[in-house]
Amino acid sequence: MKFNENLAQLVNYEAGKPIELVVREFGIEPKDVIKLASNENPFGTSERVVNAIKDVAKNAFLYPDDSYFELKNSLASKFNIGAKNIIIGSGSDQVIEFCIHAKANEKNAVLMAGVTFAMYEIYTKHVGAKVYRTKAQEHDLTEFLEIYKANKDEIAIIFLCLPNNPLGGCLDADEVYKFLNEISKETLVVFDCAYNEFAEFKDKKKWIDPAKIVNEFKNAIYLGTFSKAYGLGGMRVGYGIADENIIAELGKIRSPFNITTLSLKAAIEALKDEEFVTKSLENNFKEMTRYEEFAREFDIEFIPSYTNFITFKFKEQNASEIVQKMLKKGIILRDLKSYGMNALRITIGQPWQNDRVLKELKEMLK
């Protein structure tokens, strides 16, 4: 059977390995598996949210309120924007897909950093658009601008992943706003800010302000998610914030009821539990320093991270082998081989989890 030709050159996105796989393959008890591969919140889901989900479980037969009225209003007041400036996605991943389907096609192109979130390229290829990447792995706005200016009529979307997954680096917001002034109003600039809460906590200058995007940059969209700081990866809720014209176009692509009745409730409730988020952020950066010290001790290269993960780049050792060996010990880390790097990414865990990861890594590397 013939399929869409654009699919021929694509491979499946390699997701972080699930706990179930380690249980099946290595006979390790689920409670002994440490999963630090997908940047989930190591404290799990807040108690308050779990209870709210239980409460609405009996409504699982009902479609959710497709206007997402309450969630949009909560986000609107949090960010000081209007409900009309928001689109809800099944994870912000889905909003990335909306953006690409709305703008990119076989005749144009999408520009992104040398090493960045893999889904940008995958969705771009779905629609047969071309991918431009900077040579620099992290976001080098000078190089972005060079490539953009040389291919201005072709580039329909620019992705800025701030902070950048899977490397962890970030730019100052002011520098990024300046960059935006150089971009044509015909080009959509996507700010994927899945880790914005972390960046803001570490350094206020990194915080990208959704209200500023709505009010000053009519060709940009801000993406946020409940999957990381809010501890709701399994609920699949993300959002886009932009000028209403952009939101209206993306809305044409969104299918009705694209998040679930339970997810909707979970997200609404999660926004009310800032204490949980703060605790997660505090733990994250406190524990991060242990990994940084470890890297210095073992001469491992890393980029100072504004996220809930740290990426170790190796020289002599083989990162894939380390990931594999750790897996056999019940510790799931993320191999970055599919990003063309001899590197691994570790989500910062709870102290007891980091104890074990560091102990095992130490034994492996000494």
Ligand X SMILES: *Cc1c(COP(=O)(O)O)cnc(C)c1O
58-66, 91-99, 246-254, 259-267 -> range binding ligand X (CB under 6 A): 91-99
Nearest residue (CB) to ligand X, 137 versus 227: 227
Q: Answer yes or no whether residue 242 interacts with ligand X by CB under 6 A.
A: no
Structure tokens at 222: 């801000």
Q: Which residues, in sequence order, are CB contacts of 220 under 8 Å at separation 6+? A: 180, 188, 189, 190, 191, 213, 242
Q: Least distance to ligand X from the beta carbon of 357, Å?
A: 20
Question: By rule CB under 6 A, what string of x and - marks binding of each residue 39-58 to ligand X?
Answer: x-------------------
Question: By rule CB under 6 A, what string of x and - marks binding of each residue 345-364 to ligand X?
Answer: --------------------
Q: Answer yes or no whether residue 117 interacts with ligand X by CB under 6 A.
A: yes
Euclidean distance between CA atoms 294 and 167, whole angstroms: 17
Q: Using CB under 6 A, which of 196, 219, 225, 347 touches ligand X?
A: 225
25-33, 54-62, 86-94, 324-332 -> range binding ligand X (CB under 6 A): 86-94
Euclidean distance between CA atoms 65 and 67, whole angstroms: 5
Structure tokens at 197: 């809460």
Cβ atoms of residues 193 and 208 within 8 Å: yes
Size of interface with ligand X, in residues (CB under 6 A): 14
Residue bearing tokens 């972005």: 144
Q: Answer yes or no whether residue 273 interacts with ligand X by CB under 6 A.
A: no
68-76, 102-110, 224-232, 262-270 -> range binding ligand X (CB under 6 A): 224-232
CA angle 143, 221, 64 (to 5 degrees): 145
Cβ atoms of residues 17 and 327 within 8 Å: yes
Cβ atoms of residues 36 and 355 within 8 Å: no
99-107, 167-175, 221-229, 264-272 -> range binding ligand X (CB under 6 A): 221-229
Q: Answer yes or no whether residue 233 interacts with ligand X by CB under 6 A.
A: yes
Nearest residue (CB) to ligand X, 136 versus 365: 136
Cα 348 to Cα 119, 228, 290, 318, distances in angstroms: 22, 11, 10, 21
Ramachandran quadrant class, 231 (left: phi over 0; alpha: psi -120 to 50; beta: rest): left
Cβ atoms of residues 267 and 70 within 8 Å: no
- Structure-derived torsion over alpha carbons of residues 281, 309, 363, 33, reported in degrees to the nearest 10: 80
Question: By rule CB under 6 A, what string of x and - marks binding of each residue 184-213 to ligand X?
Answer: --------x-x-------------------
Considering only residues 300 through 329, tell me which ones interact with ligand X, judged by CB under 6 A.
none
Q: Answer yes or no whether residue 261 interacts with ligand X by CB under 6 A.
A: no
Q: Least distance to ligand X from the beta carbon of 150, Å?
A: 26
Q: Answer yes or no whether residue 171 interacts with ligand X by CB under 6 A.
A: no
Residue bearing tokens 């170790």: 312
Cα 94 to the center of its chain, rounded Å: 11
CA angle 201, 117, 365 (to 5 degrees): 80
Nearest residue (CB) to ligand X, 165 versus 353: 165
Question: By rule CB under 6 A, what string of x and - marks binding of each residue 145-164 to ligand X?
Answer: ----------------x---
Q: Least distance to ligand X from the beta carbon of 156, Å?
A: 19
Q: Answer yes or no whether residue 227 interacts with ligand X by CB under 6 A.
A: yes
Nearest residue (CB) to ligand X, 28 versus 190: 190
The residue whose Cβ lies closest to ligand X is 91
| CA quadruple 39, 43, 48, 53: dihedral sign | positive
Q: What is the CB neighbour count within 10 angstroms for residue 219?
A: 18
Nearest residue (CB) to ligand X, 168 versus 330: 168
Q: Which residues bind ligand X (CB under 6 A)?
A: 39, 91-93, 117, 161, 165, 192, 194, 225, 227-228, 233, 238
